[in-house]
Amino acid sequence: MLLRARQFEFMFPRPALVMGIVNVTPDSFSDGGQFFDSAKAVARALELVEHGADILDIGGESTRPGAAPVSEAEELRRVIPVIEKLAGLVKVPLSVDTMKPAVARAALAAGASIVNDIAANRADDAMWRVVSGFRAGYVVMHMQGTPQTMQANPTYADVVREVGDFFRERLRRLTACGVAADQVALDVGIGFGKTLGHNLQLLGGLRSFTKLQRPLLLGVSRKSFIGKLLGAGVAARLPASLACACLAVEAGAQIVRTHDVAETVQAIRMTEAVLAQKK
Ligand code: 7PJ
């Protein structure tokens, strides 16, 4: 199985890829303005590469439940300088975490290689034409609703089956828009329009999505379902995040998105070393 993202090619099976999260959101405690926020994001990104990140995921809009949307102009102002700078400094692929086709296009023009689209449930195919034009990698993430509404009353008859149906339908529509299957990775979207029970069912059912023959990406890092299950505050969720990452790798996931790159790399390499000895 191959994943193509512009000049990058990843051939699987291979050790799982760790995607490091770089948030470019204003620091309410700083008064240094945009340059300060960009410089901090770049410094953080370089640190994540040192820690072993295989991909950097750069985002300028918070998509936590209920977070206010950010304008296109503001999102461009946040992420493009960071991507331009990193494109000249690091060898790993840069992913842009955005729902906006114009931001994706500008990010790809500035040197990004992957579009991480949490709104892959979109109706309009403008985003897919951008991805097709650049031959970029594309993350199809499942979300029920929008970040503003998704946690109001998530409802599924069978969440694992419905997410699988969504992936199959998106792969068909993407192909029709000129995005080849080998540009696509799939993500169940933990926490995006899901209850704690739905999240646990998706984690437990992860192996079923390997049938689709596309790399599976998983984002569980510090998420609130961990707090709901275990009562842990956001700063105390690393152990459970690592447990989910290891289980996901055992179930066949190939890309893990995380804030804590060094710790996740260590946990995954140990998991893989043991899995390699399974008879
Ligand atoms: C995810 C994401 C995820 C993908 C966020 C957070 C919320 N992109 N962007 N998958 N989560 N592909 O990190 O807590 O799970 S933002």
Expressed in percent and rounded to 5, the helix, strand and coil fractions of the chain are 45, 15, 40
Q: Which two tokens mark 262?
A: 């060094």
Ligand 1, atom nearest to 259 Cα? 13
Q: Tell whether pTM > 0.85.
A: yes
- Ligand 1 centroid vs 30 CA: distance in angstroms? 25
Catalytic residues: 223, 257
257 lines ligand 1 (CB under 6 A): yes
Burial of 269 (0-12, 13-18, 19+ CB in 10 A): middle
pLDDT per residue rounded down to tens, the chain (279 residues): 999 999 999 999 999 999 999 999 886 565 566 777 899 999 999 999 999 999 999 999 988 888 888 999 999 999 999 999 999 999 999 999 999 999 999 999 999 999 999 999 999 999 999 999 999 999 999 999 999 999 999 999 999 999 999 999 999 999 999 999 999 999 999 999 999 999 999 999 999 999 999 999 999 999 999 999 999 999 999 999 999 999 999 999 999 999 999 999 999 999 999 999 999
Mutate to test the pocket of ligand 1, among 17, 61, 97, 222 (most ligand atoms within 8 A of CB): 97
Buried b (16+ CB within 10 A) or exposed e, 41-67: bbebbbebbebbbbbbbbbbbebebee
118 lines ligand 1 (CB under 6 A): yes
- What's the pLDDT score for residue 101? 98
139 lines ligand 1 (CB under 6 A): yes
- What's the pLDDT score for residue 212? 98
219 lines ligand 1 (CB under 6 A): yes
- What's the pLDDT score for residue 65? 81
